[in-house]
């Protein structure tokens, strides 16, 4: 299982149910990584998407505790057990845990690879990803190029679970 996230230098990921910054190159990277695959998101992250619509060309699985939640364009899983059963239908390597903070936290220990885009600036945030640099069980396995866009520098990295 994979996870994919963009963080600032404090591992902040969002504020007021939105991303900290929108970076076209990063959105393209996210699209390339997840198109044709399966993304798992919390109900709040779905609501943060433009027009609250799922992302196209991939399976969007939404986790909620609300049994009345209905949305024909996504796969709705009410609770972790329903999600576990749903995920059995897919190959582990095709699954991308895609936020937000609550969902990342619950699945972090099950992930083998975490695609982290690190922004070398900080922003006011109210949601965070765990600081992987402080964990012994994840190490950087791949370092991508640096980019500069909208006045911020950022880099694509992949953290791998230490076997
Ligand atoms: N930087 C990034 O890469 C990135 C990516 C994605 C999102 N984000 C940001 O993250 C923020 C949203 O994160 P968040 O933590 O507030 O919300 P979230 O994780 O997106 O969604 C939380 C909701 O998911 C459902 N949920 C979570 N755990 C569950 C479980 N075990 N069983 C059933 N349902 C469960 C609940 O929905 P119900 O309340 O419906 O029961 C809960 O309220 C936004 O600011 C967003 O922009 C950032």
**Arithmetic mean of pLDDT over the chain:** 97
Determine how β-strand 127-128 pairs with β-strand 12-15.
antiparallel
Q: How far is CA 158 from CA 3, 70, 109, in A?
A: 10, 34, 15
Distance 159 CA to ligand 1 centre (A): 22
126 Cα nearest atom in ligand 1: 45
Q: Which domains does the chain have, with CATH numbers?
A: 2-161 (3.40.430.10)
User: How many whole angstroms separate alpha carbon 76 and alpha carbon 5?
Assistant: 21
The pTM is what? 0.98
User: Which mutation among 2, 85, 101 tests ligand 1's pocket best, with the greatest number of atoms within 8 A of CB?
Assistant: 101
CB contact at 8 A, 156 and 115: yes
Virtual torsion, Cα 140, 143, 147, 151, nearest 10 deg: 20
| Residue pLDDT, tens place only, 108-158 | 999 999 999 999 999 999 999 999 999 999 999 999 999 999 999 999 999
């Amino acid at each position: 299982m994979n996870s994919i996230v963009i963080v600032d230098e404090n591992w902040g990921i969002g504020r007021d149910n939105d991303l900290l910054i929108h970076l076209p190159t990063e959105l393209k990277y996210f699209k390339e990584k997840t198109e044709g695959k399966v993304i798992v998101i919390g109900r709040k992250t779905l609501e943060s998407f433009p027009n609250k619509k799922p992302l196209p060309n991939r399976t969007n699985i939404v986790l909620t505790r609300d049994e009345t939640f209905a949305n024909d364009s996504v796969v709705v899983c009410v609770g972790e057990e329903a999600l576990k059963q749903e995920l059995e239908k897919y190959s582990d390597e095709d699954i991308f845990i895609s936020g937000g903070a609550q969902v990342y936290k619950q699945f972090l220990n099950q992930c083998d690879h975490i695609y982290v885009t690190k922004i070398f600036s900080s922003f006011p945030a109210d949601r965070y990803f765990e600081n992987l640099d402080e964990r012994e069980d994840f190490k950087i396995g791949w370092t991508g190029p640096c980019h500069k866009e909208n006045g911020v520098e950022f880099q694509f990295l992949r953290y791998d679970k230490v076997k």
